[in-house]
Structures are given as C-alpha cells and as structure tokens.
Amino acid sequence: MQHDRTKEGRRNSIPAIFQESSQKIAADIAKQFLTQDIRMIGLGSGPMAAEVVREISKLPLKEHLQCITTSTQTKLEAEEANLKIVDEGFLTELEVFFDGADQIDGNRNMIKGERGALLKEKILHSAAKNVIIMAESTKYVKSFNRAVPIEVHPFARCVVQKKLEALGGHPELRTVGDYVYVTENGNLILDTGFVSIADVRKKEVELKNIAGVVEVGLFTKHANIYYKANEDGSFEKILG
C-alpha cells in the first residue's frame, strides 16, 4: 500500500466529522501527559496516534523525549516531526503509551489490529505505566460486533484456521488487493468473526493458547484513560 506522507493525506484518514475533536484530544493529551518528567513514550498506530505525534512536535520538551513506535507508518510520522526514535533494545518500561482502538466495549475491553500492529501494540501496552487510548464515538459499543485480528505464524496458518473454526470462529486470511497481507513481523492475520464473545478475557487466553498464534487483537488490560471524540467537535475523558 502506498504511504501518503502529506499532512492533508494523513488527516483525511480520520473521518472529517471527527477531525476537530481529534485535534482537541491531541492538544489535551500533550498538555496533560507530556511534562518535563516524561522521558520514554510509546506511539501506537493509526490516525489518532498521528495527531498526537503532530502535537508533540510543537513542544519544546520534544528534544528530551525518546519514542518507541509500533509500526513503520508511525515511525515515519515521528521522523517527520523530528522526534527521537529509539529501538526496542531500550524498552524495559514506558512512562506512557498513546494509541487508538478499533472498538471498545462496555467493559472497556478493546479490539485492535486493523492496521496489523497488534503484536507491538500489546507489548507496549503491557510495558507502559500509563496507557492513553483515543477513539471516535462510533467505536464505543456495548459489545463487540467486528472480527478479531489474530496474528499467526505462516507455518501454522491451516492448523490455526481449523482450530479457530472448532471454537466457533469464522477466520478469513487478510489480503490487500490480490496479495496476502504480511505483518511487519513476517506473520499473517486471520480476521476472525465470532457470533458473540461472552467472556472477553477468557476468549483472549483461549485464542492465545493455540499453537502458532503469535498475538490476539483482544486487549483486556484496561487503559488508564479513554478519550472519546464526538461528532460535534467535543470530546470526553473516561477513566479506565
């Protein structure tokens, strides 16, 4: 897929009706969570995270920040903003991790992985003292109604697919056009629909225990704060 590095092209990935509220969220995050005491931060994937990167680029303290990114896309955004990128060898504990979500249910569980970075996102989510999640209001739902991305080692594709079907799942191999989608980790993604998920935490563990599954797009560790972008340009902050 072609990467559009123009500012207008990137912002268009956020629905126009949410652009104002998304920019306000990014500004509030920079004001509230980026202080002189913060040194190591994690940057997730997607347009909401990109808004935060652009806001960080305006801060004088950006010279003191070390950033770990979850995808090449985010890394390009951060490089363009002249942020200092460090590799995973520096990762032991993050002070704060900023990320988006594909869906957030009524119990604050999340589905993530639409952009294929679920493995690194879950690692940074686990390593961070504080996790800040941003999403449009349409992504807040009572219960999940979209497929769960499951990252799978290529050697295990057929085996995992069969086991997912046995668990009541409907896995589909992710493709981009006529090509199989390959993650930055060299793995495949099976987008797997379930009629319902009664216990999200139990399902996360059950899926992760399948041999060949690298990571699951169910995130049951709650964030510290969830930001909700509203259509009228306002936003809400929800404690995790």
Query: Catalytic amino acids?
Result: 121
β-sheet bridge partners, residue 239: 225
Contacts of 201 (CB under 8 A, 6+ apart): 109, 220
Q: Which two tokens stand for residue 38?
A: 């913060």
Residue for token digits 């504990």? 93
Q: How many CA atoms lie within 13 A of 62 on its CB side?
A: 18
- Kindly provide the residue ranges of all beta strands, DSSP E only, lying in 25-173, ordered along the sequence: 40-43, 66-69, 96-100, 103-104, 110-111, 131-136, 148-152, 170-173
Q: Which of 194, 42, 192 is nearest to 121 (CA)?
A: 42
β-sheet bridge partners, residue 237: 227
The C-alpha atoms of residue 136 and residue 144 are separated, in whole angstroms, by 15
Q: What is the dihedral of CA 204, 74, 143, 25, to 10 degrees?
A: 140
**Distance in angstroms between the alpha carbons of the first and the last residue of the chain:** 35
Q: Which two tokens stand for residue 105?
A: 């249910």
